[in-house]
Structure 1
Amino acid sequence: MGVNKAYQAYQNNAVNTASGGELTLMLYNGCMKFIKQAIKDMNDNNFEAKNINIQKAQNIIQELMITLDRKIEISKQILPLYEFMQFQLKEANIKNDVKKLEEVLEFVTEFRDTWKQVILKNRQQQFAKGASV
């Protein structure tokens, strides 16, 4: 039990000290985890668990949609993709369609990988600025 509490404290600390960019990365990773679990649940005919995991993925996509800065041009391009992912998740849940889940997983993975590169590039620039001071 002590190990579980320590891990939970570590997770809470990681979230509480994360930058906005790191939180977004955590959201993408969580969404990927829930979609993969929903695929497994669907293949195992565990429809209750599938439904729960798809809803968790939908909630994450919803959070990503809400936090978009609509004044930034790229947000206007990202929003329809998030809306598409939401629709596909809903359809996958209703129709028990693994292919739709896999399609959304591809999108989320690509967003996550791109976001990871942005964070790394940002860190490199900050490090370069710090080294030149």
Structure 2
Amino acid sequence: MAAMKGANAYARVGVESGVNSASPHKLIVMLFDGALAAIRAARIHIEAGNTAEKGKSINKALDIVSGGLAPALDAERGGEIAANLASLYDYIARQLLAANLRNDVARLDEAERLLGDIASAWREIEPQAQAAGG
């Protein structure tokens, strides 16, 4: 038990260190990675019939999408792209809520696919962001 607590503390320090040293671009990548991992975990929990853990995983994904990714949008500088992403994040959140309510793996798949597409595009702009000094 003590070893597990130590391992969890070590992992937490590693995550916190990664967050503290990450660029703004990398922080968004980390949010995408966390949301996608939570969706994959939720799928496993649905298939295993583990309702409580499914709910926790979907709530984690929802928190990341609605509390991390969506608020990070800059409507002023992002214009139409930011508005479209905000609508997409809202749609993804609704898919996650429906998946949770109905144990619907297809809705999880849709949310994962959409987030994966956005994450992939975000990763592709990283070298350009670094070259521009951001």
TM-score normalised over the length of structure 1: 0.88
Unaligned runs of 5+ in 1: 128-133
Unaligned runs of 5+ in 2: none
2:74 is aligned with 1:69: yes
Further displaced range: 43-52 or 70-79: 70-79
Deviations 1:68-99 (A, max 9, x none): 11112110111110000000000010011000
Match of 1:93 among 96, 100, 103: 100
Identify the residue that residue 115 of structure 2 maps to in structure 1. 108
Match of 1:49 among 49, 53, 70: 53
TM-score normalised over the length of structure 2: 0.87
CA 1:126–1:79 in structure 2 vs 1: closer, same or farther (change >3 Å)? closer
The CA RMSD over aligned residues, in Å, is 1.6
Identify the residue that residue 23 of structure 1 maps to in structure 2. 27
| Deviation for aligned residue 1:19 | 1.1
In our comparison, the structure showing a higher alpha carbon Rg is: 1
Deviations 1:23-78 (A, max 9, x none): 00000000000000000000000011000000000000012111211112110111
2:117 is aligned with 1:118: no
| Deviation for aligned residue 1:10 | 2.2
Aligned residues between the structures: 126
2:36 is aligned with 1:32: yes
Deviations 1:86-115 (A, max 9, x none): 000000100110000001000111111111
CA distance in 2, matches of 1:4, 1:91: 32
